[in-house]
Structure 1
Amino acid sequence: MSQPIYWKVPFVWEEPKPLLEVPARLEFKAAKTLSREGLLSVVAQVMESSIDASDRKQVMEQGARQAAEHFLAESQAGFSYQDDWWQIGVNSDDRVVGFIFPVIYQGCAKEGLEEASIYYIGVLPEYRGHGFATDLLLKGTRVLQEVGVWRVFCDTDVNNIPMISTFERVGYQQYSEPWQRPL
């Protein structure tokens, strides 16, 4: 029996480029300012309502909270990051709107610069449709620019049209045709 698959669209941001300007409509704070329960809650809410097939599968099999715990625990596998890189975006009412988790691929440095990725980006369901994903992606990419990267390589589910549009709006380029990933 073959393993189920889904399709992802790969995107790349290549440096050097001018430092990105991040709009000021959200206040960005280190994700570690949330309690563990608070962080799990926002990640679980995003995963539970995600368009991404792998998120939906994990939530269906494990439940949203367990899927979020598992997802966050896997962030150490093949990646490195400093806690301050992981950011939450907070609105003027001091409510979390979303989060961005930039990471560095381990062992992929080139000419003294790192290769990076956006491990996860999410906007809570009640704040979707207002362009906050763009603000979050700008912030995460800016963090990685400041770290010093030669490129940021990421992908998203082919059905996640809002995220595809966000990558394009920020200036990421589609790297290749969509590819298969195990589900």
Structure 2
Amino acid sequence: MILSSVSPSDVTIRPITGPDEVALFNRLPYTINHELTDDLAERRRRPEWMWIALHGDRLLARVAWWGRSDDSAPLLLDILDIDDDADDLTEVAQALYETAAKQVLPPGAVPPEYGRFVPADWRENPDTYRAVRSRMTVLEKTGASLTVERLRLEWRPEAGLPAPDQRLAFRPVRDHGELIALMTRALDGTLDAHSRADLAQMSAHEAAVKHYEQELATYSSPRQWWRIATLGERGEPVGFVVPARNAYHPVIAYLGIVPEARGHGYVHGLLAEGTRILAAEKVPRIRAATDLGNAPMASAFARADYVNFERAINMAW
């Protein structure tokens, strides 16, 4: 049923009361709805981080943040949905976000980045484009802007393993210091938008430490999976790959090549090795992501039979 225009004064804005209201929260469809119950149980979400806007008993909009289980404040805004069967709800959704943010986020803090998964062809489908843009417009009105669009990729066992690079030898990472040093070198000339944003505010070493501590160090999967590639058994490192398992999927978490080793196609061997390590665990899929503008990495994933099944939109304040 099409709902005529509704103003913020006509709606009830509140957080959900607990896991018993996940079904209400999930009345608006989204690709990660099935994860929310487990997220609440594992404290990656909290009821006070999940807010709704109701008109009577009809859910008009919702917003939610995500964090790690021991975080006191969320790390990511990853749900902002609007009832697309209603007339323009931009003002309602904006009021919902602003009301919730005042309660959820620490006073004076820069809001966490917004990330949304969208269909790979979202720009070509008029209805999907309209839906994505309506959500972006809500946040643009609060001061956010698009930072990057990313490809979400998936490898499945039926695709077969990518061919190894016989020029490369692989060994486990010795310790976090060795990996951070290589990450620091690999940041020189990076095409990754998030890394470039970090480099505008801090040194390459500081950016590498930040990435390691906020992401790589949080994975519970074995660090013995992490690999350094060398030319020959005793050669100097040319790059590294971090296969891991996050809270949801096996992933290629990070792959880097030192500047002096670029242009020789070593990326294919590194990706093949990371894929091989995870495939040996009999996983049903491997997920990965790269910026839309990172053509060399996107090409490497395509060559290794990783399929672009979705994209991700990221916005920041």
* TM-score, length basis structure 2: 0.51
Paired residues, what number? 172
Equivalent pair of 1:26/1:91 in contact (CA under 8 Å): yes
State the match for 2:208 in structure 1: 68
How much identity, in percent, do the aligned residues show?
Answer: 27
Equivalent pair of 1:48/1:56 in contact (CA under 8 Å): no
State the match for 2:190 in structure 1: 50
Rg larger in 1 or in 2? 2
**Matched position secondary structure for 1:48:** coil
State the match for 1:103 in structure 2: 244
Residues 182 and 87 of structure 1: is their aligned pair in 2 closer, same or farther, counting only changes over 3 Å?
farther
Q: Which amino acid in structure 1 is aligned with residue 236 of structure 2?
A: R
Residues 80 and 182 of structure 1: is their aligned pair in 2 closer, same or farther, counting only changes over 3 Å?
farther
**Matched position secondary structure for 2:284:** strand
1:157 aligns with one of 279, 291, 297: 291
Residues 97 and 2 of structure 1: is their aligned pair in 2 closer, same or farther, counting only changes over 3 Å?
same
Kindly state the Cα deviation for residue 117 of structure 1 after the two structures are TM-superposed: 0.8
Kindly state the Cα deviation for residue 21 of structure 1 after the two structures are TM-superposed: 4.2
Describe how 1:1-183 pairs up with structure 2 within 5 A.
1-32=143-174, 36-74=176-214, 75-77=216-218, 79-92=219-232, 94-106=235-247, 108=248, 115-176=249-310, 178-182=311-315
Between the aligned partners of 2:295 and 2:222, the Cα distance in structure 1 is: 30
* TM-score, length basis structure 1: 0.86
Of 37-46 and 143-152, more deviation after overlay is shown by: 37-46
Q: Which amino acid in structure 2 is aligned with residue 23 of structure 1?
A: D
Can you give the 5+ residue segments of structure 1 that lack an aligned partner in the other structure? 109-114
Equivalent pair of 1:48/1:55 in contact (CA under 8 Å): no
Q: Which amino acid in structure 2 is aligned with residue 172 of structure 1?
A: Y
Q: Which amino acid in structure 1 is aligned with residue 299 of structure 2?
A: S
Between the aligned partners of 2:191 and 2:283, the Cα distance in structure 1 is: 29
Equivalent pair of 2:161/2:272 in contact (CA under 8 Å): no
Q: Deviations over 1:58-109 (max 9, x none)?
A: 12212100110111112244x3321110000011361100000011122x3x
Between the aligned partners of 1:163 and 1:90, the Cα distance in structure 2 is: 19
